[in-house]
Amino acid sequence: MDNPIDLIAAVGVVPVIAIERATDAVPLADALLEGGLPVAEITFRTEAAADVLAAIRDARPELCIGAGTILDKHNLQRAIASGARFGLAPGYDPDIVDAARQAHLPFCPGIMTPTDLTLATARGVRLAKFFPAGVAGGPKALLGIAAPFAHLGVRFIPTGGVTEATIGDWLAIKQVVAVGGTWIAKTEDIREGRFRAISRAAAEAVKVAKQALEKRA
C-alpha cells in the first residue's frame, strides 16, 4: 500500500517504540516483520531515533516506519530526512501540522479534549491521536468526544494505556483507525536483545487486532 495510513488501518495496531541504539534497528525491524507487523512508530524520545529510522529505511524498506513524539519542526525535518513515512505527536501544534502538510507527510497530532479537537479540525486535521487514551477515560470517553465531530469524518489512533486486552474495545469504535501500543516492543526488551519476545508480542497483537477488525466489519 502506498498510503501508510491505509496500511495502518489494515493492520489495526502500531507499535510505539523508544529505541536507544541504532545498532538495534535492523534486529528490531526483523522481529516485527517476523511477527507479521509491517509498520512501526519510532519515537523521538531518544537521541538514536533519526539514525534508527535511516537504518530501517535503508536495510528493511518493507517495514513502513513513522516518527512519533514530534514536538518541533526541527525533529519533523529530521524524521522526514531519515525516511519517516508518517508522523505523530502527543499534542496539537498548528505550526507542526502546517509544516507536515507542506512536506506532504501524513501527520497525526494528539488531542485529549473537545477543545483540542475543535482547534485541530479547524486546521484541517482529520486523523488525530487520542492521547493519553487510558488516562483520558478509555473508549467511552473517545466515543463522547468524537460524537459532535462525526460529520467531519475525523478518525483516531488511541495511544497511551492501550493494552493487548483492550485492543478489541478500541477497534470496536468505527472511527478508530488503529491503536498504538508500547507493550509490543519495550525499550528494555530491545536493550536486552529479547527480539524473539518482540516477535511473539507482535504476532499476538496482529492476531487480536485482525479478529477485532473482522468483528467490526
How many structural domains compose the chain?
1
| 93 in any annotated domain | yes
Percent of the chain with pLDDT over 70: 100
CB 27 within 8 A of CB 1: no
Q: What is the CATH number of the domain that holds 75?
A: 3.20.20.70
| 161 in any annotated domain | yes
From the list 34, 129, 174, 207, the catalytic residue is 129
pLDDT at 66 over 80: yes
Which tens digits make up the pLDDT trace of 104-132?
999 999 999 999 999 999 999 999 999 99
Instruction: Mark whether 129 is an active-site residue.
Output: yes
Note down the domain range covering 183.
4-212
CB 33 within 8 A of CB 63: yes
| 102 in any annotated domain | yes
| 217 in any annotated domain | no
| 141 in any annotated domain | yes
Q: What is the pLDDT of the chain when averaged over all its residues?
A: 97
From the list 41, 73, 204, 215, the catalytic residue is 41
Cα separation, 26 vs 122, whole angstroms: 39
Instruction: Mark whether 62 is an active-site residue.
Output: no
Which tens digits make up the pLDDT trace of 9-20?
999 999 999 999
What pLDDT score was predicted for residue 217?
Answer: 76
pLDDT at 60 over 90: yes
